Amino acid sequence: MAVAVAVLSLGAMGLQYRLVEARLMDAQRSLLSADLDGFAALYDQRRIIALRQAIDYRAAAATGDEMLLLMDRQGAVLAGTRGDWPAGLTAEGEGFAVNPARAFTEGGTRWLAVARELPGGFPLLVARSLQPVDDTLGAMRRGMLGMLAAMLVAGGLVGWLAARSVMVRIGRLNDLADRVAEGALDARLPGARTDDEFGLLETHVHSMLDRIETLNRATHRLSDTIAHELRTPLNRMLLKLSKIEDQEEVTAELKAEMRQAIRMFDSLLDISRAEADAGSGGGLVPVDLSAVAREVWDLYEPLAEDKGLDAQAVIDPDLRVLGDRNLIAQLLSNLLDNAIKYCASGDLLTLSLTRDGDRHLMRVADTGPGLPADMRGEVFERFVRADRDRGISGHGLGLALVRAIAARHGARLVLPEGQKGLTLEIQWPRLQQSD
């Protein structure tokens, strides 16, 4: 911007420079023309003699601004301000017209010269110094350069000031967005809104945040209400079931069905709650990930062994994350439960938890049937199950809950390609050790 303004000004100044230059040259040319007219009048009266006297007279009063020289046929000087004919200048024509005039340089000074050979072979040189013109133009150029530099500096300064105030206000909005992303849904910018586009933007952001906050609160309230309204009738059903006697098999099946329905329903609510809280650190506390992994592994390992799996765990100690112990346990429990469910006797099941740079890498791998190729992209969606697994109990929410819990913790979920069976990696953000 500053540069564009400077270039435009430079163009304008250049035009002015050209005009001044032309005007000054014209002035020198008309002075020269007046000189020549004077000499022409003298020449008309008494030819060379009058010219010689006039030049002598003028040379005596030399100001240095003019160059006069009259020579004879043999090249001897008859009169003049100098003793020789300037090199590189040839006489053209024989009249006293100002045109053609030539500019030439001698000793660092430019001259505007009219060189003639008067009838009878008398070379005449009448020249005016262009030094005053060059001095004026030089001063002008310096002035213009100075002006340009000043404009660039001023432009840059103004631009920087303007950009800085814009940056400060954008920075405020960015800070607000960061705080909201960290879970402070009630964060707002303090002070009054200004009466410009920024104020308008802030107002829009605020009304968006108000809406998100309301929706979030409604989501939380709704899940509690749903829980209450659904579980209360289920509770009455279960109590009535408990009063039925002599049909234990049927009642046990009904109870198991109810338990499955509640599990599914809890998983759905857990998923939406975890997704609503995803990315926000709110409610998370330092958790010993290694200890939780060890506990859940110890819970499931006998189950895997009983099913004939080769179960191995490698868990580095003291790896800590900011998390919710119960959710982490639920995530790992879902993964191990799935693996054990789908693997057959002889399969390998491994759990590893290792430190990997600024992340903790949790990996659950089995050599079971793995995922059908066409399902890789959608296994983490709710209620997605492979057709071949219809015979295995489950509601298709396990991996969706795993993904929601990982997202809640800011952990990355990866399905590495090309492994036999199913391998799932979770990269947990490491808790900065402060203790």
Contact residues toward other proteins (CB under 8 A) are 224, 227-228, 230-232, 234-239, 242, 255, 258-260, 262-263, 266, 269-270, 273, 295-296, 298-300, 302-303, 306, 324, 326-327, 329-330, 333, 337, 340-341, 393-394
Kindly compute the dihedral angle of the four CA atoms of residues 342, 346, 347, 348, in this order, to the nearest 10 degrees: 140
Q: Can you tell me the distance from the alpha carbon of 163 to that of 171, in angstroms, rounded to the nearest whole number?
A: 12
Cβ contacts of residue 185 below 8 Å, gap of 6+?
A: 209, 212, 213, 216
Q: Can you tell me the distance from the alpha carbon of 217 to that of 210, in angstroms, rounded to the nearest whole number?
A: 11
- Residue among 24 and 269 whose Cβ is closer to other proteins: 269
Is the backbone of residue 278 left (phi > 0), alpha (psi -120 to 50) or beta?
beta
* Min CB(270)–other proteins separation in Å: 6
Give yes or no for a contact between 365 and 422, defined as CB atoms under 8 angstroms apart: yes
* Min CB(407)–other proteins separation in Å: 16
Q: Can you tell me the distance from the alpha carbon of 406 to that of 427, in angstroms, rounded to the nearest whole number?
A: 9
- Residue among 278 and 299 whose Cβ is closer to other proteins: 299
* Min CB(422)–other proteins separation in Å: 18
Cβ contacts of residue 379 below 8 Å, gap of 6+?
A: 371, 399, 415
- Residue among 6 and 422 whose Cβ is closer to other proteins: 422
* Min CB(266)–other proteins separation in Å: 5
- Residue among 33 and 267 whose Cβ is closer to other proteins: 267
Q: CA separation (Å) from 202 to 162, 169, 310? A: 19, 10, 59
- Residue among 32 and 284 whose Cβ is closer to other proteins: 284
Please tell me whether residue 218 adopts helix, strand or coil conformation: helix
- Residue among 22 and 252 whose Cβ is closer to other proteins: 252
Rounded to the nearest 10 degrees, what angle do helices 197-243 and 248-276 cross at? 170
* Min CB(324)–other proteins separation in Å: 8
- Residue among 158 and 237 whose Cβ is closer to other proteins: 237
- Residue among 10 and 269 whose Cβ is closer to other proteins: 269
* Min CB(292)–other proteins separation in Å: 10
Give yes or no for a contact between 413 and 425, defined as CB atoms under 8 angstroms apart: yes
- Residue among 52 and 409 whose Cβ is closer to other proteins: 409
The radius of gyration computed from the CA coordinates of the chain, to the nearest angstrom, equals 49
Tokens standing for residue 360: 């903790």
Tokens standing for residue 211: 């809406």
* Min CB(337)–other proteins separation in Å: 6
CA-based nearest residue to 52, from 66, 38, 69: 69
DSSP 324-367: -HHHHHHHHHHHHHHHHHH--TT-EEEEEEEEETTEEEEEEEE-
Q: Which residues pair with 166 in a beta bridge?
A: none
* Min CB(225)–other proteins separation in Å: 9
* Min CB(361)–other proteins separation in Å: 23
Buried b (16+ CB within 10 A) or exposed e, 209-248: beeeeeeeeeeeeebeeeeeeeeeeeeeebeeeeeeeeee
- Residue among 77 and 230 whose Cβ is closer to other proteins: 230
- Residue among 340 and 371 whose Cβ is closer to other proteins: 340
